[in-house]
Amino acid sequence: MRIICLSCGHKVEVDDAYDDFEGLVKCVVCSAMLEIRTEEGKLKAIKVADPLGGAASKPEGIAGAAIQY
Protein backbone atom coordinates (compact mmCIF):
# COMPACT_ATOMS: atom_id res chain seq x y z
CA MET A 1 0.00 0.00 0.00
CA ARG A 2 1.16 3.52 -0.68
CA ILE A 3 0.52 6.61 1.34
CA ILE A 4 0.96 10.04 -0.17
CA CYS A 5 2.93 12.26 2.17
CA LEU A 6 0.88 15.35 2.88
CA SER A 7 3.99 17.40 3.43
CA CYS A 8 6.08 16.63 0.31
CA GLY A 9 3.88 14.46 -1.91
CA HIS A 10 6.22 11.48 -1.84
CA LYS A 11 4.59 8.05 -2.11
CA VAL A 12 5.53 6.25 1.07
CA GLU A 13 5.47 2.48 0.63
CA VAL A 14 4.21 0.52 3.62
CA ASP A 15 3.95 -3.25 3.91
CA ASP A 16 1.07 -5.55 4.78
CA ALA A 17 1.52 -4.93 8.48
CA TYR A 18 -0.18 -1.58 7.88
CA ASP A 19 -3.34 -3.00 6.31
CA ASP A 20 -5.14 -2.53 9.61
CA PHE A 21 -3.22 0.13 11.41
CA GLU A 22 -3.64 3.30 13.34
CA GLY A 23 -0.63 5.37 14.26
CA LEU A 24 2.37 7.16 12.90
CA VAL A 25 4.35 6.62 9.72
CA LYS A 26 7.45 8.63 8.96
CA CYS A 27 8.05 9.98 5.47
CA VAL A 28 11.52 8.90 4.35
CA VAL A 29 11.95 12.00 2.20
CA CYS A 30 10.94 14.93 4.39
CA SER A 31 10.76 13.17 7.79
CA ALA A 32 7.21 14.34 8.34
CA MET A 33 5.24 12.20 10.75
CA LEU A 34 1.97 11.14 9.17
CA GLU A 35 -0.84 10.01 11.41
CA ILE A 36 -2.79 7.38 9.49
CA ARG A 37 -5.66 4.98 9.97
CA THR A 38 -6.20 2.05 7.65
CA GLU A 39 -8.72 -0.74 7.38
CA GLU A 40 -8.43 -3.80 5.13
CA GLY A 41 -5.59 -2.27 3.18
CA LYS A 42 -7.37 1.00 2.51
CA LEU A 43 -6.46 4.37 3.87
CA LYS A 44 -9.28 5.76 5.98
CA ALA A 45 -7.66 8.85 7.46
CA ILE A 46 -4.41 10.71 7.18
CA LYS A 47 -3.03 13.87 8.62
CA VAL A 48 0.32 15.36 9.49
CA ALA A 49 1.09 14.66 13.11
CA ASP A 50 2.01 17.69 15.11
CA PRO A 51 4.18 16.54 18.00
CA LEU A 52 5.43 20.01 18.80
CA GLY A 53 1.98 21.53 19.04
CA GLY A 54 2.85 24.73 17.21
CA ALA A 55 4.38 23.48 13.98
CA ALA A 56 1.19 23.11 11.98
CA SER A 57 1.55 26.44 10.21
CA LYS A 58 4.87 25.82 8.49
CA PRO A 59 4.68 22.65 6.30
CA GLU A 60 3.75 24.50 3.09
CA GLY A 61 6.93 26.54 2.80
CA ILE A 62 9.19 23.74 3.92
CA ALA A 63 7.67 21.33 1.43
CA GLY A 64 8.34 23.72 -1.44
CA ALA A 65 12.01 23.95 -0.59
CA ALA A 66 12.47 20.27 0.17
CA ILE A 67 11.54 18.85 -3.23
CA GLN A 68 15.01 18.66 -4.70
CA TYR A 69 16.29 15.32 -5.88
Which residues contact Zn ion by CB under 5 A?
5, 7-8, 10, 27, 29-30, 32
How does DSSP assign 23-56, residue by residue? EEEE-TTT-PEEEEEEETTEEEEEEE--TTSS-T
In the complex, least distance from residue 40 CB atom to Zn ion, rounded to whole angstroms: 25
Please say which residue, 31 or 39, places its beta carbon nearer to Zn ion: 31
Separation between Cα atoms, residue 42 and residue 44, nearest integer Å: 6
Please say which residue, 7 or 38, places its beta carbon nearer to Zn ion: 7
Please say which residue, 8 or 25, places its beta carbon nearer to Zn ion: 8
